Amino acid sequence: MTGRTARRRWICESEEQTEAAGREIAHELSEDAVVFLVGDLGVGKTTLVRAIAAELGADALEITSPTFAIVHEYPRAGRSAIIHIDGYRLTEKPDEWQRIGIPELLRSEGLKMIEWPKEGFTRFAPASAEIRMEMGTGESRTIDLTIES
């Protein structure tokens, strides 16, 4: 990421607070942003994506983890779909990404939310935002948003 950088942080004590942070983050992202979501298993990345996508007009009931499907697209009335990619099961081999269509998806219109991004994805489209999530004590988690413009 290069250019001007904006940073925000949320400390969330519950799933509801994580969802509220997601709704706020939704308004910080550009229409065609490529967002890398970084954090351990179970930290709440999909919950955050659900809140962001629902705030931006996707059907919250359709938003699930794409771990097994790898890619989900969430349509929105009158706007580009939100693309949700999970790189957890992907190897570091670009030919695998090509077969799945990752380069085309990353260059397409609409918001792209990528859990477990591979470093090489930036060859197809640079990340314009990064969300880092970390577990704290108990149910708390920290969400750090970095946006490059």
Average pLDDT, the chain: 91
- Note the pLDDT of residue 2: 54
Residue 144 corresponds to which tokens in the numbers above? Answer: 């750090």
> What pLDDT sits at residue 76?
94
Q: Which letter, b or e, does each residue of 40-66 get, where b requires 16 or more Cβ atoms within 10 Å of its Cβ?
A: eeebbbbbbbbbbbbbbebeeeebebb
Range of the structural domain that residue 31 is part of: 5-148
Q: Kindly indicate the confidence band of residue 126, based on its pLDDT and cuts at 50, 70 and 90.
A: confident
CB 49 within 8 A of CB 129: no
CATH of the domain at 41: 3.40.50.300
pLDDT score of 72 more than 50: yes
Q: How confident is residue 69, by pLDDT bands cut at 50, 70 and 90?
A: confident
pLDDT digits 0-9 by tens, 2-42:
578 899 999 999 999 999 999 999 999 999 999 999 999 99
- Domain count of the chain? 1
